[in-house]
Structure 1
């Protein structure tokens, strides 16, 4: 098996590679969730090459402290930049809510998070102004969606319209999805419990605040009776990326077929199996990526030492 070693340290001012239309887009997530973003890239930017990091050795991110989330992002972002990416999408709701505000301006490559794109889409979709948010515990506790909804409502809603926000952490969704338990009875029961307080508030729009959650669209639609608009921030985020590439003149043409490179810090076999089913395309060439100096704790998950 080919192994890609992620370097222990890369300076934020590491030597830049020249960005060109043929340069890839970089995306990362704690596992298969970011494949929802990749699917949008395939749809909206079908010619683009992509480097995808699935940091499944540390899944889920949602229960980790903010400083650890930032540390993880400080490892993955410079690595992607070192690979010559022209743009990075944080294909992870937890990273977008916690690390994006801290790191978005620290690198010369443009970084796109998911919070503002998701909020824009939700404000456009809501009729009543009552918006629900489901996400990891880390994202909900950060108040990122709640604060951004309040700050953007003036430009996204008719004058005088107020919004009501109902938020719910859904910590079991990511492990269920990573395990491939998508449309099972267990998943339906868990989802029903998570949605109860939100439906009680009569939401008409629901932000799927973790990139794993769009994989549960069928389950969520069934439980809401199709009466709630489900907002996937990936669509708006990739549209933003497309606009930036067009403006910079760095969109890749149809010269060569797109290449998708997958680097996985956890089980390659599991990523390929579950990822292929979720993406709807066969993934057969993922590579193992080793994290620097890992320390094993917490049931065998990989934690990098914080400094």
Structure 2
């Protein structure tokens, strides 16, 4: 485990062989990182999890914006060729600022998932489960404003606690999921957006409660597809075979990050570095 410093970003000419920077408030963005690696196996990645200040969901939007830009600054300072904000709450709070602040592509998780859900819904009733911060921002409402879909939003704040504790099954989780999801079932939604990158790790219990007739849309998978498409269109995909490197950096306890990361993601997570932000 390595300690790395914090420096301000410097952005020059974007290099095709530079890494992709992926940011999340904690562990959930690892689902995005894994999806990106699956689609772009030759790409280097740097993942930064701000676990010292997680969760972002209950925080004021201004504070989330401040923390997000501080972490994105660090990633840009590492020379990344693109940024992926792998957190719905952070995307809601800081996407516009990030796209004005940096001259490299910035990919988020909300619009790709919203577009997918609106496209595949059969009855036009789309649900989204998310953190309180994402719900308050109404980002999914804005993303679907031009579609025929009617959106039903359900904050599920305890889901993040379960994932960050490494709990993805069990009686208590099932009871909490049933309480959260029953209103969406009663509304008759046929498509459900997993509007937090932690939630794909709970897709088993969500699917169990909602039933097989409800299609789940992962914001993690859709943002990875969006990253693939954008980098391809901008000719920023590596063109030669390459043994990719994966750096995982946390602002919190690297041992705890590696332990939970391995438990949730298997051998995908290793060699955690520690970052102390000013």
TM-score by length of structure 2 reads 0.95
Q: Does 1:201 align with 2:196?
A: no
Moved over 6 A (4+): none
Residue of structure 2 equivalent to 1:90: 85
Which position in structure 1 is the counterpart of 2:259? 273
Deviation at 1:273, TM superposition (A): 1.7
Instruction: Give distance in 1, aligned partners of 2:226 and 2:270.
Output: 29
For 1:241, the equivalent position in structure 2 comes to 227
Superposition map of 1:69-88 within 5 A: 69-88=64-83
Match runs of 1:1-307 below 5 Å: 1-7=1-7, 10=8, 14-151=9-146, 153=147, 162-292=148-278
* Separation in 2, partners of 1:212, 1:285: 21
Q: Within 2, Cα distance between the matches of 1:15 and 1:258?
A: 23
Shift of 1:85: 0.4
Deviates more, 1:243-252 or 1:261-270: 243-252
Give the number of aligned pairs. Answer: 278
Structure 2 counterpart SS, 1:133: strand
Native 8 Å contact 1:18 1:84 kept in 2: no
Q: 1:280, CA displacement in angstroms?
A: 3.0
> 1:130, 1:207 → 2: CA distance?
11
Deviation digits for residues 186-237 of structure 1, max 9, x if unmatched? 2111111110111110110011111000000111111112121110122222
Question: CA-atom RMSD, angstroms?
Answer: 1.4
In the TM superposition, what whole-angstrom CA distance separates every residue of 1:164-203 from its partner, at most 9, and x where no partner exists? 2211111111111011011122211111111011111011
Whether contact under 8 Å (2:2, 2:272) holds in the other structure is no
Deviates more, 1:222-231 or 1:102-111: 102-111
Task: Name the SS of the counterpart of 1:173 in structure 2.
Answer: helix
SS in 2 for 1:166: strand
Stretch deviating more after TM superposition (255-264 or 271-280): 271-280
Contact 2:114 2:144 survives alignment (8 Å): yes
* Displacement of 1:282: 4.5
DSSP 3-state at the match of 1:76: helix
SS of 2:248's partner is strand
Give how far 1:34 is off.
Answer: 0.3
